[in-house]
Structure 1
Amino acid sequence: MQNRWLLLCAWLAPGLAAGQTKLLETFPVSAVQLLASPFQVAQQTDKAYMLALSPDRLLAPYLAEAGLPTKAERYGNWENTGLDGHMGGHYLSALAYMYAATADAQVQQRLTYMIDQLERCQQQNGNGYLGGVPGGRAMWQQVKEGRIDANSFGLNQKWVPLYNLHKTYAGLRDAYVVGGNEKAKGMLIKLTDWCLDLTANLSDEQIQQMLRSEHGGLNEIFADVAQLTGDAKYLRLAQRFSHRAVLDPLLAGKDVLNGMHANTQIPKIIGFERIAEVGGDPAWAGAAAFFWKTVAENRTVSIGGNSVSEHFNPDNNFTSMLESTEGPETCNTYNMLKLSKQLYLTSGSTSYLDYYERATYNHILSTQHPGQGGFVYFTPMRPRHYRVYSQPQEGFWCCVGSGLENHGKYGELAYAHRGQQEVLINLFLPSRLTWPEQVLTLTQETTFPREERSQLKLQLKKPRQFALSIRQPNWLPAGQMQVLVNGKPATTSKLSPGYVTVQRKWRTGDVVTMALPMQTKAEYMPDHSPWVSFVHGPVVLAAVTDTTDLVGLHANGQRMAHVASGPLYPLEDAPVLVSAGQDVAAGITPVPGEPLTFSAAKLIDSDKYRNVRLVPFSQIHDARYMVYWPVTTPEGLAARKEEIRRKDQEKRALEARTVDQVTPGEQQPESDHGFQGEQTESGSHRNRHWRHAKGWFSYNLGNPNRAARALRVTYSSGDKDRQFTILVNGTPLTKVTLQGNPQGDFYDVDYELPKSLQQANAPTTLVVKFEAAAGSTAGGVFDVRLLK
């Protein structure tokens, strides 16, 4: 099992053009054993969570769609509201990685059982298809016949079925490549052949139309199958499933990401890079590198995450990042790590590792509850807000699926090698690397980042000459990495850029010690606004401010339970940092006797918060916190506080009046509010999302206490002379003729709701429908909310 992927990557199968040459190779996950550390704890916590899940409940959507009797009721939440089966694919990947990482027999048994049952479903379907998409057979037949209705919400009235199916494809690939399940390979090829048949009579234009719907990384999977089989027809399929609306601007070096649904795009880019590796156009690799650069350097906050409410915010305005409860999404970082790994292996550039380390130590590690388990969807950057965690039998969000995978993958890029003559140390992670082909065992012992050093111990069958290259991270000043071999200063070279290399004949018992001195630095928001976070080495520091009002801390199965819905604490009451000098970090001082603990008392202008402690963000759970701090000078303090108060007051007042709200054109809010529609389109204007329709569209808004008194709708000043009717539960509320608004880009209109909706027997769900008049357009609508 250990060598399968290395052999496959090194093997260029007949029938494929020459692709990118990988400069470096990773070791299989099975070759790296984690030692005692927070990462090992996270791995074991994740394993317990995945084993608490019922495989039969996860399999139920697949069995039902194949016409086979189910053995248990399917799970709820996203697993029975349209995305049925997506978690089963994630589960295969998670089991494969966890088995490779731990060699746990129970995990392997679970993986084998899942594959065996899914094989039954595929055989029953009879055409290679395997999926849990509800009503999938009829829908796929429509697609095969060329009847395609696709938008950001989904395909042919189904919630992103191609995205759903991608999880099954990826699970089968990982079960074979990572988990060593031979049967999964044949199932993967059969499922890919089914897709070839599905699209055989579709034009490239029809497939591009289909790709308007979120579809994960199908192009990546098809490129993988091309390499597995050596058959170029699968590479052609991968190219056809590459979204040109995203690819073409990237090929031209244009950043058009503002407002795009972030995690819809990142898997596509992984596919572009993978196609270039397998044998496609090498320019596609350049497009992938350009995408990574603009996201990692211009759109990423200090913890390594990106996006607000799942979408890329404007790269020159991070206000929404600081105001929103829906900060960086875990799935985005999961996929950015995959892309970083690919780009590192083909380029050798350690800039990808610097990002990989930052995101792993801070975002990924922080997104699992270390005690009882549970995964985080959004990580708010809003000062004094908090995160919520899933529960095994309740939450089945996308970030639960990627979360299951994340904590079994910590060893995948800790080490790499260049042929047989160079071993590269990428992460300072307590672990043991075993390389059977070279009869080498390398044990890394460290408590980094609690201590500023790491130590490598070597075991070899016989003395051997090779290079040991140690990454010099971007947080370590040049010339400050000291390397000792057996207690003596080592002669080093720069064999590989970004590394310090020791070349010698190594023997069993040799010990390499690395000094890793860290500094505390202040990092501003990417838009250079006056908000800072503090980073010690690669570790982002944060402070607990409160443990109050943690509403829904451990989420139930409700559709919006993944959002931390507790009260918004006023930004004006958050602590402000006051610094007379340019170096704000100079005011951060270590707390004696407490590793990785710091004080900002010299800077904080608040008696209430002056004595908070700054600690690694990944250690903070079950609490409200500060990652980003407003900063000003003594002279500017009063004005800064007033600016924060003014900007935040109106938002909080509106939130306090809001009973329920949906942002048209944003995929997840629309899904959570039962979006339906005909002849409808969505897009963005001035960094705000909209939806309009030649036909109609509707949402289900919750009014649990019957407290709503008005419906507020936001329009754009540029939409004029459009006529439509707004209906509530099928009854016309008002007829609208848009007149525009010369006072600004956007304006709100409040429509009074009938008093009958306040009665004790009134429904608690209001279906709000926008229906176009004949020959006109309903909308554009930018915001819909019920107000108290």
Structure 2
Amino acid sequence: MKKLLLSLALSSIAIAGCSEKSKVPVEMAPFPLDQVRLLESPFKHAQDKNIEYILAMDPDRLLAPYLKEAGLAPKADNYGNWENTGLDGHIGGHYITALSLAWAATSNEQVKQRLDYMLDELKRAQDKNGNGYLSGVPGGKAMWDELAAGNIRSDLFTLNEKWVPLYNIHKVYAGLRDAYIYADSQHALTMLIALSDWSAKLIANLTDEQVQLILKSEHGGLNEVYADVADITGDKKYLEIARRLSHREILTPLEQHQDKLTGLHANTQIPKVIGYKRVGDLAGDKSWQAAAAYFWNEVVEHRTVAIGGNSVREHFHPTDDFTPMVEDVEGPETCNTYNMLKLTRMLYLSEPQTRYVRYYERAIYNHILSSQNPDTGGLVYFTPMRPNHYRMYSQPQDAMWCCVGSGIENHSKYGEMIYAHRGDALYVNLFIPSTLNWEQKGIQLQQENHIPDTESTAITLTGSGKFTLQLRYPAWVKEGELAIAVNGKPITVTETPGSYVAIERHWQDGDRVEVHLPMHIEAEQLPDQSDYFALTYGPVVLAAKTQPFAGEHLNYFADNSRMGHIASGPMCPQELTPTFVSESRDFLGNLERLPGLELRLAAPDSLQLADMQTLQASASFSGLPQLNPQAGRNLELIPFFRVHESRYTLYWPYSTPQGLAEKQQQRETEDRARMALARQTIDKVAPGEQQPEADHFFAGSDTEAGVHLGRHWRHTRDWFSYQLKDPEQEAHRLRITYYGLDSGRHFRILANDVEIAEVELDGSGGDDFFDVDYLVPVEVLEKSDTGTIDLRFEAGENSLAGGIYGVRLLRGKNERS
């Protein structure tokens, strides 16, 4: 593998014509991935299991969309799910990256053979297209021609009626780039440049305003990739394209240090910001660099939960209200953290502060590592923070979601941040068992430990030379407790948590450094300071496996359905969650570590559960099964990354003894209403939210979406539609949510071409949202043999249909009209 210090988002190579500052190398440098090898640990297990998973995937099925789009006969049919319903080919680009990373991280020959095969087949498709174009977007050629001609119809997740085609093709760019960076494929570089030139011609005659209109649709990190191509080739024209492909609607507020993120689709924005940072670094643009750093700070400090993830239902919610985080089953999305780790690494190398490492460590231990099933290699989309819920896992031949694409990359990247170097200083950032080959110094390093089960790490050196070993003093070790010995002799540590301990000496072959890292359990409150707490121990977040219902058999493995990534089984009433009860928030006391090699702690006495009779009454009211008599008792707290195929609790409510009854009553009242509605609901759509609309096959003309008072909406001057699922043909009512001050709106609602309502909004509902239920005529069900209801909103003459803030199909006993 080519030993490139150009590491995707981190290169310091100067671009001809850029500012003088861009010629100064970044002082902190990463080690190429092929110089770091993982040793036995949960991370090594995850890396190996992921290679099994990607080799079990069928390359010909992944290649099919590209061959079809090029007019070539595929050797197998597409995968299902997202891969044959509009986002065809997006996994293929991720797959190229995953193979490239796995090759760099392990030198696995099967992986390299698979990578070469994929690249050869993609080259066939690109050559057949004849103009550098390479994509699996179905029917994409006509759409790209429309864009080049200035015929642009852009929405949040559609572009000229195609499902995020720029996001899709970005995966191909990134895959080819990574095959060059990590696998030294000149083949891939040639293809990447040809693809980049094709797109450059596509937008050459468009105005900046037209390009910005295109960028309204999700487009991944296209600006980052063009900056990378500029860096690789030294041709500044690609950097100018990267600037043009940077979405100013998001960039401008960030440059002004304004957080305008609430309500936005989270993972649409993070790759854009990675691109701002990349362009800023290459061009020496301090404003763009500062915008990226500001974004990171706002997301990590104010929008991130204990595991390192962010967002609910894929969107940023208000920073002062994390209620949806503990109520909704669609918690942090793995893709978000995948991209936040990319941004974090870039920021660290520009400004090596340990706060970046602290976030990175927390996220890889508790979100990324936990997002893989350690037995099957299956990958997780949403990780609910709602107590007593669970996760769904993909399978190699099913469930082709975005978090599968990024997921198959994640587990070959653990070696990227363990070590770094600057001049004659070697930085040890993460305590992950591994070896490092520091070729420039002729030094090899081996780090061994069993963290978090033990509280120390040992580093053995091979080779000799003078350099400074910079050991991170993690913030989770208390001041004065870090202990270091070199060859058995203690050294004095005067540094404080959140810094580095520098050991400068002439190192000899066989030198051994032992680092004692005492861990302590701590309670970490939700960022909005509401009364929910997670427990941490060193770098890990603790959770408990909870099985509140007797004899419950949940399915944890997703099928090929469009919403199979959502853990849609019964929600548990929140009063089934044990509560920390204490006069003060110092409720942890002395926790007992349980016997065994792996970290296990007995839950503290302050964690209390209501009496079983009350709980069973609540469960029965909610239509839930008989409670497990031991539910909530004798709980064990273990690292969250070891919790799989189980309900779990990670965030625990807190109350004083005096306020307990009132809080339980409030939670019970609110939760019963929420769960009753969930039981009535057959299907629902959140208008204006990207994935719910995509999963319901949104279509429309002259339609817009946005956010008002924290709620997403959609309206149209023509029409828009969804496909609702009603497999048992039991729909009785359609519930639509409106905003009370919308006025002068006249439109029709149709289901399977049957009009079910003619709506007039006159603004009389006040400054609030309200629901209207419409009975579903029997004729609608007679036309839904496939178990699908086509719901359509049609605007009246010179009017708007909407705003529509919610769509919910309900069971019920009402007589139909």
User: TM-score band (shorter)?
Assistant: over 0.9
2:471 corresponds to which letter in structure 1? I
Q: Pick from 442, 446, 456: which aligns with 1:443?
A: 446
1:5 corresponds to which letter in structure 2? L
Which residue of structure 2 aligns with residue 514 of structure 1?
A: 515
Which residue of structure 1 aligns with residue 81 of structure 2?
A: 77
Task: Specify whether residues 594 and 112 from structure 1 end up closer, same or farther in structure 2 by C-alpha distance, changes over 3 A only.
Answer: closer
2:434 corresponds to which letter in structure 1? S
Which residue of structure 2 aligns with residue 96 of structure 1?
A: 100
Residue 150 of structure 2 aligns to a residue in which SS?
Answer: coil
What is the rounded CA distance, in whole Å, between the counterparts of 2:3 and 2:783 in structure 1? Answer: 67
Q: Pick from 129, 135, 138: which aligns with 1:134?
A: 138
- TM-score, normalised via structure 2 length: 0.94
What do the CA deviations read for 1:48-79 (whole angstroms, capped 9, x no partner)? Answer: 00000111110010011111111111111110
Contact 1:551 1:564 in 2 (8 A): no
Contact 1:465 1:504 in 2 (8 A): yes
Residue 96 of structure 1 aligns to a residue in which SS?
Answer: helix
Matched, 1:9 2:23: no
Q: By how many angstroms is 1:578 displaced?
A: 0.6
Matched, 1:687 2:710: yes
1:710 corresponds to which letter in structure 2? R
Which residue of structure 2 aligns with residue 672 of structure 1?
A: 695
Task: Specify whether residues 497 and 560 from structure 1 end up closer, same or farther in structure 2 by C-alpha distance, changes over 3 A only.
Answer: closer
Q: How does 1:96-495 map to 2 (within 5 A)?
A: 96-419=100-423, 421-460=424-463, 463-490=464-491
What is the rounded CA distance, in whole Å, between the counterparts of 1:588 and 1:739 in structure 2? Answer: 60
What is the rounded CA distance, in whole Å, between the counterparts of 1:14 and 1:153 in structure 2? Answer: 36
What is the rounded CA distance, in whole Å, between the counterparts of 1:165 and 1:588 in structure 2? Answer: 51
What is the rounded CA distance, in whole Å, between the counterparts of 1:153 and 1:498 in structure 2? Answer: 43
Q: Pick from 583, 594, 599: which aligns with 1:596?
A: 599
Q: By how many angstroms is 1:212 displaced?
A: 0.4
Contact 2:226 2:239 in 1 (8 A): yes
What is the rounded CA distance, in whole Å, between the counterparts of 1:599 and 1:225 in structure 2? Answer: 53
Which residue of structure 1 aligns with residue 791 of structure 2?
A: 768
Say which is worse superposed, 572-581 or 494-503, in terms of deviation.
494-503
What is the rounded CA distance, in whole Å, between the counterparts of 1:68 and 1:16 in structure 2? Answer: 42
Contact 2:93 2:175 in 1 (8 A): yes
2:466 corresponds to which letter in structure 1? Q
Task: Specify whether residues 761 and 326 from structure 1 end up closer, same or farther in structure 2 by C-alpha distance, changes over 3 A only.
Answer: closer
Say which is worse superposed, 471-480 or 323-332, in terms of deviation.
471-480
Residue 438 of structure 1 aligns to a residue in which SS?
Answer: coil
Matched, 1:558 2:581: no
Contact 2:262 2:710 in 1 (8 A): yes
What is the rounded CA distance, in whole Å, between the counterparts of 2:606 and 2:391 in structure 1? Answer: 26
Task: Specify whether residues 277 and 760 from structure 1 end up closer, same or farther in structure 2 by C-alpha distance, changes over 3 A only.
Answer: closer
Matched, 1:542 2:543: yes
Contact 1:664 1:783 in 2 (8 A): yes
2:524 corresponds to which letter in structure 1? E
Q: By how many angstroms is 1:581 displaced?
A: 2.9
Contact 2:473 2:498 in 1 (8 A): no
Matched, 1:655 2:678: yes
Residue 102 of structure 2 aligns to a residue in which SS?
Answer: helix
Which residue of structure 2 aligns with residue 698 of structure 1?
A: 721
1:70 corresponds to which letter in structure 2? P
Q: By how many angstroms is 1:760 displaced?
A: 9.9
Residue 683 of structure 2 aligns to a residue in which SS?
Answer: strand
Contact 1:15 1:230 in 2 (8 A): no
Q: By how many angstroms is 1:9 displaced?
A: 2.8
Which residue of structure 1 aligns with residue 621 of structure 2?
A: none
Residue 743 of structure 2 aligns to a residue in which SS?
Answer: coil
What is the rounded CA distance, in whole Å, between the counterparts of 2:104 and 2:4 in structure 1? Answer: 12
Contact 1:21 1:346 in 2 (8 A): no
Q: How does 1:777-788 map to 2 (within 5 A)?
A: 777-788=800-811
What is the rounded CA distance, in whole Å, between the counterparts of 2:597 and 2:709 in structure 1? Answer: 48
Gaps of 5+ in 2: 612-630, 812-817
What is the rounded CA distance, in whole Å, between the counterparts of 1:730 and 1:123 in structure 2? Answer: 45
Contact 1:272 1:285 in 2 (8 A): yes
Contact 2:64 2:77 in 1 (8 A): yes
Which residue of structure 2 aligns with residue 28 of structure 1?
A: 32
Contact 1:550 1:623 in 2 (8 A): no
What is the rounded CA distance, in whole Å, between the counterparts of 2:25 and 2:739 in structure 1? Answer: 50
What is the rounded CA distance, in whole Å, between the counterparts of 1:48 and 1:140 in structure 2? Answer: 37
Residue 683 of structure 1 aligns to a residue in which SS?
Answer: strand
Q: By how many angstroms is 1:609 displaced?
A: 1.2
What do the CA deviations read for 1:1-48 (whole angstroms, capped 9, x no partner)? Answer: 251235993432433333375231110111111100111110011000
Q: How does 1:45-64 map to 2 (within 5 A)?
A: 45-64=49-68
Residue 738 of structure 1 aligns to a residue in which SS?
Answer: strand
Which residue of structure 2 aligns with residue 579 of structure 1?
A: 582
Contact 1:367 1:376 in 2 (8 A): yes
Say which is worse superposed, 586-595 or 245-254, in terms of deviation.
586-595
Q: Pick from 710, 715, 720: which aligns with 2:738?
A: 715
1:380 corresponds to which letter in structure 2? P
What is the rounded CA distance, in whole Å, between the counterparts of 2:722 and 2:775 in structure 1? Answer: 18
Q: By how many angstroms is 1:720 displaced?
A: 1.3
Q: By how many angstroms is 1:551 displaced?
A: 4.0
Task: Specify whether residues 568 and 763 from structure 1 end up closer, same or farther in structure 2 by C-alpha distance, changes over 3 A only.
Answer: same
What do the CA deviations read for 1:185-228 (whole angstroms, capped 9, x no partner)? Answer: 11111111111100000000000000000000000000001111
What do the CA deviations read for 1:395-440 (whole angstroms, capped 9, x no partner)? Answer: 1000000100000100011100002x01000100000001222211
1:46 corresponds to which letter in structure 2? N
Q: By how many angstroms is 1:741 displaced?
A: 4.6
Q: By how many angstroms is 1:529 displaced?
A: 0.2
Q: By how many angstroms is 1:479 displaced?
A: 2.8
Which residue of structure 1 aligns with residue 528 of structure 2?
A: 527
Task: Specify whether residues 763 and 191 from structure 1 end up closer, same or farther in structure 2 by C-alpha distance, changes over 3 A only.
Answer: closer
Task: Specify whether residues 760 and 716 from structure 1 end up closer, same or farther in structure 2 by C-alpha distance, changes over 3 A only.
Answer: closer
**Taking every aligned residue pair, what percent have the same amino acid on both sides?**
51
Contact 1:354 1:474 in 2 (8 A): yes
Q: By how many angstroms is 1:88 displaced?
A: 0.4
Which residue of structure 1 aligns with residue 754 of structure 2?
A: 731
What is the rounded CA distance, in whole Å, between the counterparts of 1:114 and 1:136 in structure 2? Answer: 21
What is the rounded CA distance, in whole Å, between the counterparts of 2:435 and 2:111 in structure 1? Answer: 21
Aligned residues between the structures: 785
What is the rounded CA distance, in whole Å, between the counterparts of 1:333 and 1:95 in structure 2? Answer: 20
Aligned-residue Cα RMSD (Å) equals: 1.7
Contact 1:16 1:231 in 2 (8 A): no
What do the CA deviations read for 1:560-603 (whole angstroms, capped 9, x no partner)? Answer: 00000101111122211111233123264322446421122411
What is the rounded CA distance, in whole Å, between the counterparts of 1:416 and 1:150 in structure 2? Answer: 42
Which residue of structure 2 aligns with residue 632 of structure 1?
A: 655
Residue 675 of structure 2 aligns to a residue in which SS?
Answer: helix
What is the rounded CA distance, in whole Å, between the counterparts of 1:11 and 1:259 in structure 2? Answer: 37
What do the CA deviations read for 1:350-398 (whole angstroms, capped 9, x no partner)? Answer: 1111000000000000001000111000000001000000011111000
Contact 1:386 1:550 in 2 (8 A): no
Contact 1:534 1:585 in 2 (8 A): no
Gaps of 5+ in 1: none
What is the rounded CA distance, in whole Å, between the counterparts of 1:375 and 1:718 in structure 2? Answer: 43
